[in-house]
Structure 1
Amino acid sequence: MPKVLISDKMDPKAAQIFRERGVEVDEITDKSPEELKDIIGRYDGLALRSSTKVTGDLLEAADNMKVVGRAGIGVDNIDVQAASAKGIVVMNTPFGNSITTAEHAIAMMFALAREIPQADASTQAGKWEKKKFMGVELTSKTLGLIGAGNIGGIVADRARGLKMKVVAYDPFLTEERALEMGVEKADLDTLLKRADFITLHTPLTDQTRNILSKENLAKTKKGVRIINCARGGLIDEAALKEGLDSGHIAGAALDVFVEEPARENPLFGTPGFISTPHLGASTTEAQVNVAIQIAEQMSDYLLSGGVTNALNMPSLSAEEAPLLKPYMALAEKLGSLVGQLAQDALKSIAIETEGAAAELNQKPITGAVLAGVMRAYSDSVNMVNAPFLAKERGLDVREVRHDREGDYHTLVRITVQTDEGDRSVAGTLFSNTEPRLVELFGIKVEADLAGKMLYVVNADKAGFIGRIGSALGEAGVNIGTFHLGRRATGGEAVLLLSVDQDITPELLTTLRGMDGVKTAMALDF
């Protein structure tokens, strides 16, 4: 039974779902990093919110860890690269609190427009300052949307309902998607120049850090109002204060800060500034939603291999996983064969599918191929860290899907570029479940890929098979299965044997010295 640790306070429904699905769960919160490190090795999964810091140091102690799940959107507190290198899936719940966060941004925009927090404080202090709090309408104003993903799209929809004009900047926003959202696509400078209100809905990356820098804030329209319910660090806070003090920026509403918890900040007390303590996802509905979703996602992965909302692995639904399992087994075996035969000579790899395989989700098949290939270079490799290791080695990976159906109802072909030229292997499934090699470097061959094997390339001459059998027998190696293929009579032939004992270096030396042998290698699957 898989075992999961919930390390941050989370809705009780998360633990309930884990247990109902057959996953053992411990709820241990408020542990120091050292205390957490002492116990993390017991668990297959870690469910958390924003308090737990999943560092490389913690992951080093997580010997059994398979998945880390963040009940929420941001994964700033998780070292995703370190997790990927160790083969750990990192998941989040990008849609569980989308509406909540979008609604908070709209609420902050109303609060800015009508100075509601300031008016409330004044009124409750016994003042009646009607003339002091002269607000502005949202109707007909231009909203500048920085980030047009899921949350940004909801904000745009709500803003259009308020009769606002919406101008959106997002490098990934297509003209078709902008038309569907009912927004105008624009570059950042155009947005800054035209927007009466600006709201940010983008993750914090090297590209988006300080996207509202001092320089960009200076490009904004005088009297602009700015809302950030996304991530601290998207706005230069010092420059924002300067803009508020000068009057160029009429107001700013922040739910997030560079340093959190933000118990002190130069912006506090600045006229025109309002703030909330990172409440974007803080509704009862959102807390329940993200807890349920992360428990379901992690359970799917631990129990059936389903992958949803992973940041470092292709998605694979729980329904797809059983269907793809034999194809992934075939892909991994072919990748392992290529990795062992080509060794350090790989430059690029093309993964082709045709027939039934071409109709499936290609990313898991590619991940399985890379896992097989990279196993020649690392013992602890899986579908999560295989692409990471391939990228580290500079391996160029290409996917090709063919609509045609050839001699087999399904076929996966792997072609690698090496210093000695291109090398290709191909395989299929017998009875839709049994992986089988059908082509090796252009030579037709039918073979299982399992256990200990001997690979020999030789000149096709009479008596060779007998000599190979005698050499193995003299070394005490028993032959399990025997597979042959050749280009033409008397030409180059390939021999694949499954054996019950290890092929020793001494035996390989003997085999390579035999007349007609061009290559002899021990393989292990």
Structure 2
Amino acid sequence: MAPKVLISDSLSEAAVQIFRDRGIEVDFEPTLGKDKEKLAEVIGKYDGLAIRSATKVTEKILENATNLKVIGRAGIGTDNIDKEASSKKGVIVMNTPFGNMITTAEHAIAMMFAVARQIPEASASTHAGKWEKSKFMGVELTGKTLGVIGAGNIGGIVCDRARGLKMKVAAYDPFLSQEKADKMGVEKVELEDLLKRADFITLHVPFTEQTKNILSRENLAKTKKGVRIINCARGGLVDEEALAELLTSGHVAGAAFDVFKEEPAKENPLFNLPNVVCTPHLGAATTEAQENVALQVAEQMANYLLDGAVENALNMPSMTAEEAKVMGPWVALAGHLGTFIGQLTDEPVEAINILYDGVVSEMNMPALNCSVIAGILKKANPDVNLVSAPVVARERGVKISTTNQAKAGTFEGYIKVTIKTPTLERSVAGTVFSDGKPRFIQIKGINIDAEVGEHMLYTTNEDVPGVIGTLGMTLGQNGQNIANFTLGRTSTGAQAIALLYLDEKAKPEAMKALRDTGMFQQIRPLEFTV
């Protein structure tokens, strides 16, 4: 029986035809995605679901998706898909990460021009029959300093375009290496410096716990008087109420926003303020971008449903069906090792070396590499996937190397990941036991034996009496239950580590209580997808 795909958002006819030409039955219902109840009612009939942003793939819908194998998002953002529920259901989530980069970058540049020259207000005034030439005094972009927060794919294009406009470009990105910054022709700066110097600030970062409210009230107050701020990335990166106050006071000369904390944005503190340009999330809204991502998602989904090929998957590595049976646990291990080391690292990663020992050295290493790299990069970019991870790493100037060796220890095989930053080198190793479960076996050269849990806690300390008791007692007093507890040390009285598997996410009050004891050099809550 031919696979069956539902398209519940607006995709081009050319994309629909791709499915049909490949022998896939397709129902094209571009308004169905807005009706959650109806979608939940019919989703069980389909092997694939192709969407844009209007369709919300919730846990409830996935519960009814008894035959669903793949969700394809025409675009990069997947906030409208419950990826955890999809993974548990065994549904692959694909996106099209590179189809709208240029379009979004161009929109940011266009918004910068619009706010610099007050074009929307001047246009409205002229349409109204007024001729207020002296009212709309703008500023030139040439020679001005553009502060770019986030120098990844889209931010990098913005940097390139801004340099072409003869602007001075200063970029803040914790994961941007100096070597990459030099190649881009931009000045690598810290956020504090960018805020003080920039005439224009544009944001190009994903929405994460680290970037949430990155332009907070406090940081906005540090900006240069007369600054203009552009956000075509994600809502929630800027304190909109604080920005509105600074616009009213005149400290901020203008703002251009394509995204908002609450969308659809029917009301917002920025609306109806002078020299504020607002658009309804048009970053990817060009004919070329919409067509590109639609065609790309149709091809990817068809390739998977017919041939088992996995491309641009967010929750599964690219590999053949045959490889997946053998490699699955090792791919999971590789991702856990990357996620572990990524969550511990606050500096830009300059180099990654992945050592494959024994049986794993004969497996599909590109898929394993992608899993490691994606795990490391997810802290900075949650949208990175197993296909785009090497590209993102290369664009950030991260050097990737691998080492293969025959069996060299007590395990049939293991993976060791080592990263290098400007100030340190850090490593972690793991293996897969006969039960198919990944295990951490070494951290910082210290041997351990720890199973991987969804919620974990990593600590380092001097090897002195009382640490174990303090950990258990402090966590217990704060309602935090320990499922598993693993210890390791270099030698008696030297450095020691602990890796705890918790029943629930680490509580802030528990972490504060541990820090207040003064016994620990490092306390890091960790999260894994298991």
TM bracket (short chain): 0.5 to 0.7
The code of the aligned residue for 1:246 comes to S
User: 1:310 maps to which residue?
Assistant: 313
Match of 1:153 among 152, 156, 162: 156
Structure 2 CA distance, aligned partners of 1:353 and 1:104? 50
**Aligned partners of 1:59 and 1:83 also within 8 Å:** yes
User: Structure 1, residues 471-517: CA drift from partner, whole Å, max 9, x if none?
Assistant: xxxxxxxxxxxxxxxxxxxxxxxxxxxxxxxxxxxxxxxxxxxxxxx
**Aligned partners of 2:357 and 2:404 also within 8 Å:** no
User: 2:8 maps to which residue?
Assistant: 7
- Relative to structure 1, is the Cα distance of residues 195 and 356 closer, same or farther in structure 2, using a 3 angstrom cutoff? same
Secondary structure of 1:361's aligned partner: helix
Secondary structure of 1:25's aligned partner: strand
**Aligned partners of 1:255 and 1:276 also within 8 Å:** yes
- Relative to structure 1, is the Cα distance of residues 34 and 180 closer, same or farther in structure 2, using a 3 angstrom cutoff? same
- Relative to structure 1, is the Cα distance of residues 215 and 29 closer, same or farther in structure 2, using a 3 angstrom cutoff? same
2:139 is aligned with 1:136:
yes
Structure 2 CA distance, aligned partners of 1:366 and 1:136? 46
2:24 is aligned with 1:23:
yes
Stretch moving more, 301-310 or 62-71: 301-310
- Relative to structure 1, is the Cα distance of residues 301 and 119 closer, same or farther in structure 2, using a 3 angstrom cutoff? same
So what's the TM-score if we normalise by structure 1? 0.64
Structure 1 CA distance, aligned partners of 2:268 and 2:129? 28
Structure 1 CA distance, aligned partners of 2:222 and 2:104? 27
Structure 2 CA distance, aligned partners of 1:424 and 1:52? 40
- Relative to structure 1, is the Cα distance of residues 332 and 92 closer, same or farther in structure 2, using a 3 angstrom cutoff? closer
Report the CA distance between 1:8 and its aligned residue: 0.7
User: 2:262 maps to which residue?
Assistant: 259
User: Which runs of structure 2 are paired with 1:441-480 in the superposition (5 Å)?
Assistant: none
User: 1:191 maps to which residue?
Assistant: 194
The code of the aligned residue for 2:190 comes to D
User: Which runs of structure 2 are paired with 1:371-450 in the superposition (5 Å)?
Assistant: 403-404=404-405, 413-414=412-413
Match of 2:283 among 280, 293, 308: 280
Report the CA distance between 1:351 and its aligned residue: 7.0
Unaligned 5+ residue runs, structure 1?
336-349, 368-383, 385-399, 407-411, 417-421, 426-525
**Aligned partners of 2:147 and 2:199 also within 8 Å:** yes
**Aligned partners of 2:11 and 2:30 also within 8 Å:** no
CA RMSD in angstroms, aligned pairs only? 3.1
Match of 1:60 among 34, 55, 63: 63
Report the CA distance between 1:331 and its aligned residue: 4.0
Structure 1 CA distance, aligned partners of 2:402 and 2:103? 40
User: 1:434 maps to which residue?
Assistant: none
- Relative to structure 1, is the Cα distance of residues 366 and 352 closer, same or farther in structure 2, using a 3 angstrom cutoff? farther
Report the CA distance between 1:196 and its aligned residue: 0.6
User: Structure 1, residues 78-133: CA drift from partner, whole Å, max 9, x if none?
Assistant: 11111122222111112111111111110000011111111111122222222111
User: 2:38 maps to which residue?
Assistant: 35
Secondary structure of 2:40's aligned partner: helix
The code of the aligned residue for 1:105 comes to A
Report the CA distance between 1:332 and its aligned residue: 5.8
Report the CA distance between 1:63 and its aligned residue: 1.4
Match of 1:363 among 364, 368, 374: 368
User: Which runs of structure 2 are paired with 1:141-290 in the superposition (5 Å)?
Assistant: 141-290=144-293
Secondary structure of 1:259's aligned partner: coil
So what's the TM-score if we normalise by structure 2? 0.64
User: Structure 1, residues 49-92: CA drift from partner, whole Å, max 9, x if none?
Assistant: 11111111111111111111111111111111111222221111
Match of 1:125 among 121, 125, 128: 128
- Relative to structure 1, is the Cα distance of residues 134 and 3 closer, same or farther in structure 2, using a 3 angstrom cutoff? same
Paired positions, count: 366
Report the CA distance between 1:254 and its aligned residue: 0.7
**Aligned partners of 2:358 and 2:406 also within 8 Å:** no
Report the CA distance between 1:25 and its aligned residue: 1.3
Structure 2 CA distance, aligned partners of 1:124 and 1:278? 25
- Relative to structure 1, is the Cα distance of residues 9 and 333 closer, same or farther in structure 2, using a 3 angstrom cutoff? closer
- Relative to structure 1, is the Cα distance of residues 27 and 193 closer, same or farther in structure 2, using a 3 angstrom cutoff? same
Secondary structure of 2:404's aligned partner: coil
The code of the aligned residue for 1:120 comes to S
Secondary structure of 2:176's aligned partner: coil
The code of the aligned residue for 1:94 comes to P
**Aligned partners of 1:355 and 1:405 also within 8 Å:** no
The code of the aligned residue for 1:157 comes to D
Unaligned 5+ residue runs, structure 2?
332-354, 373-384, 386-400, 416-430, 435-530
The code of the aligned residue for 1:268 comes to F
| % identical aligned pairs | 63
Match of 1:88 among 85, 88, 91: 91
Structure 1 CA distance, aligned partners of 2:28 and 2:369? 32
User: Structure 1, residues 440-497: CA drift from partner, whole Å, max 9, x if none?
Assistant: xxxxxxxxxxxxxxxxxxxxxxxxxxxxxxxxxxxxxxxxxxxxxxxxxxxxxxxxxx
User: 1:46 maps to which residue?
Assistant: 49
The code of the aligned residue for 1:205 comes to T
Structure 1 CA distance, aligned partners of 2:70 and 2:267? 36
User: Structure 1, residues 271-324: CA drift from partner, whole Å, max 9, x if none?
Assistant: 1211111111111111100100111111222222222222222234xxxx3xxx
**Aligned partners of 2:51 and 2:73 also within 8 Å:** yes
Report the CA distance between 1:199 and its aligned residue: 0.7
